[in-house]
Amino acid sequence: MPELRVYALSEGRLLTAESILKRHRERFEGALQALHEGLSKPRCMKLETVQRKVGRLVEQHRKVSAQYSVEVVAGEQGKAAAVRCSRKQQHGAADEAAGAYLLRTSHVEWDAERVLRTYWDLTEVEATFRSLKSELGLRPIWHQLDRRVSTHLFVAVLAYHAVHLLRTRLKARGLHLSWQSIRDRLENWVRVTTTVQAADGKPLCSRQDVRPGAEAFEIARAAGLVPRVHRRRIRNAD
């Protein structure tokens, strides 16, 4: 089957990947250097002990340890004399392609821009569904009857449409946020329920909204809502 391949390079992804890899490499090299410097102290460690320590470091930093050749140099009387590491040359090219990804599609008539936009839309849909399934308790699916499975999926799709409507309204106001970003900005806007016992022994319940922060207020107004602080007291007559 013919297919179209698009090689994309994201500057944002490249910077993020470089920063992450650099941090992991610095930690790994720093740990090896500290182990090497410790060998110059009195009662330096035996060769087998240093090799085990190096093995643990390689396991702990497995994201980058495969990029290095590590050697433990033997000294006199079965002691370790040095720990040396060098970075393998073939991983330089891998770092340059850290922010790149290859997209494949059977729609050979599409141009590169349409392929990229479809991929980005698909990524957003998948991320939103993953979040909604956890929030609504829709994962995993325990149903066995077809009608119940269909209802389960319908609720998930309905929830996604609500999220899509919200994001569409925000985009119209210049707020291009993912569902996770929206949730992060709204997480402090909550309703607090306090229950105390009154003098007559009956419980008294008070519910009050926390005042929305600037970001939450902006999102609410962009979505067409008017943020109001809700307060209510409920006395249980039972």
Nearest to 91 by CA among 71, 68, 63, 62: 68
CA distance 8 to 133: 30
85: CB partners within 8 A, 6+ apart: 29, 32, 68, 69, 70, 71
Name the helix (H) or strand (E) containing 113. helix 112-135
pLDDT at residue 233 in the model = 62
pLDDT at 12: 66
In Å, how far are 121, 135, 155, 177 from 159, measured between CA atoms?
17, 10, 6, 17
Residue 96: per-residue pLDDT: 60
**Residues of the chain where predicted confidence (pLDDT) is lower than 70:** 11-15, 17, 44, 90-99, 135, 137-139, 141, 229-238
What pLDDT shows up at residue 57? 92
Residue 30's pLDDT is what?
92
| pLDDT-above-90 percentage for the chain | 5
Q: Can you give the pLDDT at residue 139?
A: 65
Give tens-digit pLDDT for 35-56.
888 887 777 678 888 889 999 9
Q: How far apart are CA 6 and CA 113, in angstroms?
A: 10
Closest CA to 179 of 115, 116, 134, 124: 124
Q: Go through the chain and tell me how many residues it has.
A: 238
Q: Residue 138 has what pLDDT?
A: 65
pTM: 0.49
Omega of the bond leading into 203 within 30 degrees of 0 (cis) = no
For helices 214-222 and 146-172, the axis angle rounded to 10 degrees is 100
